Amino acid sequence: MKKWALRAIGVYILFGILMYVYLFHIASSTIPHSLKGTSMDPATFLTKRQLVLSQDYSRIRNLLFFLSTPYEWLFYFLILILGCSRAFEKWAVNTSRFQVIQSAVYLFWLSLVSFIATYPFGYVSYRFSKAYQMSNQTFGEWMKDQVIDFWVNYLLMFIVVAVLYGLMRKFKKRWWLPAWLLSIPFTITVMFVQPVVIDPLYNHFYPLQDKALETKILALANKAHIPANHVYEVDMSSKTNSLNAYVTGIGSNARIVLWDTTLKQLNDREILFIMAHEMGHYVEHHIYYGLAGYSLLTLLGLWLTANIMRWTIQKNNGRFKVSEVSNLSSLPLFLLITSVLLFAVSPITNGVSRYEETRADSYALKTTHDKKAAVQTFQDLTRSGLSQVNPPFLVKFFRYDHPTMLDRIHMVEQYPLKK
């Protein structure tokens, strides 16, 4: 077991070194020479200091992204082969004879250890955000959000784990099918309650104070047939300097939300373009296409996970200290496999998302007829987020679910507005 643990750690360290070399010494984020001096050239709308900061901050964020995902895999692998998962299961079984309580106890210990193990990544990310003036949170405020995250994720995971392992015990080989069927209403329920139950745990939402702007936004919403009577403002300036706006929820719980940072840093024309973009997702039915795509991927993913888990446990029973798939101690293996599968399919899901974002940009242009505001919006988003206009290939391939700012501005410049 020590050899397997050391090998896994060694592979992770080697991967980290290779990603560091790629991001800091090999990959290029410069724009093509033919675009120098255009609206796509960051040198035309960023100061020299902002150019340096955006390059450095983006590299750090990208490195943390590529290190954190395999670190999660390493964590689950070590939890399995070192016998920690088996120990958590014994504590759970000794606590109660009721399987629901056993699931709660086991998941608490696994979640707690996972929180402690991944805390350094979160803290480093927080410190860099503070250093580059992206975060306005005090350490206490940041920790409060981490604690809320822990309990929200624990509650959702408890529901999933209790149901999932109940199905595993009842349907030994085909548990993945009823699990998939139940995942659909569960996902829809979470989407329905998130705007009114989960989101307010983190931030304070209140009606938009600028009523003239609200009237303009609701006029756009009316054209898009969005059932909204109010626009909400959320206090994000106490946490970040980044900009954002979104339309969330489904049915009667649909909400139009603007960050107060967006209201402070952008003019009305830019805000209306952003809101038209968000409404474009609604008009294009992206939420329903997303649900359909998610359901299909979940079906395939659960089927693959079930087969991989069964094969892995049969071949590595002694090594992983898990005798059956339905044992609670197999949960880290389930999470490891699903995490790897999600990462493997991310280039496809990112590609689909980038296409949808382009469609939403197109809808916003068609609705507002304001190319100048669109270009200014993308430039301001780049500036506020210290992001790269043209990120390296692997970053775009695995991380970007939006088109690059270079692609978005280029699309705007080439978009044929009808007179």
Give per-residue pLDDT as tens, 268-286. 999 999 999 998 998 888 8
Placement of tokens 């964020």 in the chain: 61
Angle CA 249–254–259, to nearest 5 = 85
End-to-end CA gap in the chain: 70
Number of separate helices (H) and strands (E) present in the chain: 15, 4
**pLDDT for the residue numbered 250:** 66
Mean pLDDT of the chain: 91
278 is catalytic: yes
If the chain, 419 residues long, is cut into consecutive pieces of 10 residues, what is the mean pLDDT of each piece?
88 96 93 92 93 94 95 95 92 92 96 96 94 92 95 95 95 94 91 83 88 90 81 89 80 77 92 92 88 94 95 79 88 96 95 95 93 94 92 94 94 83
What's residue 225's pLDDT? 81
Active-site choice (72, 89, 214, 278): 278
How much is the pLDDT for 314?
86
Domains in the chain and their CATH numbers?
2-19+37-193+285-414 (no CATH), 205-276 (3.30.2010.10)
- For position 318, what pLDDT does the model report? 64
Characterize the bridge pairing of strands 231-234 and 255-259: parallel
Residue 317's pLDDT is what?
63
**pLDDT value of position 38:** 92
Count of CB atoms within 10 A of residue 28's CB? 9
Task: Give the C-alpha separation, 283 to 301, whole Å.
Answer: 29
CB atoms within 10 A of CB 334: 20
